[in-house]
Amino acid sequence: MLLGEHEHTLDDKNRLTLPARFRQAFAEGIVVTRGMDGCLHAYTPDNWAALVQGRLATLDPLSKEGRRMQRTTTSRSGIAPPGGSSSPRSKGVRSMLPNVLQPSATDHVPVLAAEVRESLAVRPGQTVVDATFGAGGHAALLAADLQGHGKLIAIDRDPTVRTYFERLEKRSGVQARLLRGDFGVVLPQLASNGVQADAILLDLGVSSMQIDRPERGFSYSVDAPLDMRMDGSQELSAREIVNEWDERELTSIFRRYGEERYARQIVRAIVRRRKETPYERTGELVDTIKASIPAPARFGEGHPAKRVFQALRIAVNDELGSLEAALPAALEMLRPGGRLAVISFHSLEDRIVKQFLREKERGCTCPPDFPVCVCGHEPELRAIERRPIRPGATEVAANARSASARLRAAIKAGGDE
């Protein structure tokens, strides 16, 4: 039960002060966890245990994700024993917090950060576009490379990123603006208005801050509303797709966007179940998926709901359509010698990026039996690396979510490369 909110402060001994009205609720002890936006979440031991058990119940305890969740819930919190460090004259209860709960520079770790900086090679005075701003991890590094001279344009459809942007704007010292919207819409608008850039980054897929907020419904590891909208103001959500789309449409998106081999069996089970009761929660959908596939497949490559959730997320947010619209616009915006970098996390995204770059790297388009080129077509891009750049073992060990990342980057022809 939510008892209330309080703007917390830490004293010089890293003690958290809680208002007196909360003292009785935490008489048996307190569990404090560090969340997003500098928030600390306080639980009674019983409520914390129930929360942890509820989350772990949806996972195979021997799976990679199950082990990670156990480590997270047992090592990323601070527990103060009953009666710990309090004073009868104090207006609140003071609890010592371990260092792990203090704000850290690693709260948001951008994927392939060094490789992105090297690929984009940002210099002072340039204009940089981060088309997928998120929590601003990449943008902060690129803004630092501007050294106080240049422009940063941040784009994101998620309205909750404004807090991160305002924080970065104050620290960076560069001219910055945030444009809220789908990059598949915003980039073409910028290009049509003649806006030019020297470096453009697209970090595709769902961000860590969205996955880590259960109420957004992106995670199959936590029971939450069936949502998955990156922009909470849009009408279409995963709930509408699961409950209203017909069997053929669902099977198609599960196969196309999720590459789910058991799409037909899963969809048939969904249709049977929704005739009785509509789906409202992610946990309900996870249960249906698990019951629909053969037992060996439940313990194979990752969580059994992984592919279906990916497919729904892509469909809800039209991620592939946005990417296909954004890439030509990004190329148009780049000045000669400007650089484009795209990070993808699954084969569908990477295939689109790869095909686009290869097409724009081509020169002559004449038939191979023509003795002389008559088309006059020149390459528009030059790949920085022929193969996608992947994270190293050290990065994957520190950030498991980076394991599937692929970075492709290219330079626009016609400049001093």
pLDDT score recorded for residue 375 = 72
52, 73 contact by CB (below 8 A): yes
CATH architecture under which domain 15-101 falls: 3-Layer(aba) Sandwich (3.40)
State the pairing for strand pair 175-180/151-156.
Answer: parallel
pLDDT score recorded for residue 90 = 41
The helix or strand, by DSSP H or E, that contains position 15, with its residue range, turns out to be strand 15-19
Long-range contacts of 400-406 (CB under 8 A, 24+ apart): 400/64, 400/68, 401/111, 401/208, 402/111, 402/112, 404/345, 404/346, 405/111, 405/112, 405/343, 405/344, 405/345, 406/343, 406/344, 406/345, 406/350
Q: How far apart are the C-alpha atoms of 237 and 228, rounded to whole Å?
A: 6
Where in the sequence of the chain do the CATH 3.40.1550.20 domains occur? 15-101
pLDDT per residue as tens, the chain (417 positions): 455 565 666 555 556 666 766 767 776 777 777 654 456 677 777 777 777 666 666 655 556 566 666 655 554 444 444 433 333 334 444 554 444 444 443 346 789 999 999 999 999 999 999 999 988 999 999 999 999 999 999 999 988 889 999 999 988 889 999 999 999 999 999 999 999 999 999 999 877 666 667 778 788 888 889 999 988 888 999 999 999 999 999 999 999 999 999 999 999 999 999 999 999 999 999 999 999 988 777 776 678 899 999 999 999 999 999 999 999 999 999 999 999 999 999 999 999 999 999 999 987 777 777 777 767 677 899 999 989 999 999 998 888 888 899 999 999 998 665
Q: How far apart are the C-alpha atoms of 300 and 131, rounded to whole Å?
A: 35
Where in the sequence of the chain do the CATH 3.40.50.150 domains occur? 105-417
Amino acid at the residue 18:
L
Give SS3 for 353: helix
pLDDT score recorded for residue 383 = 93
Q: How far apart are the C-alpha atoms of 113 and 318, rounded to whole Å?
A: 26
pLDDT score recorded for residue 79 = 41
Residue-wise pLDDT for 317-361, tens only, equals 999 999 999 999 999 999 999 999 999 999 999 999 999 999 999
CATH of domain 105-417: 3.40.50.150
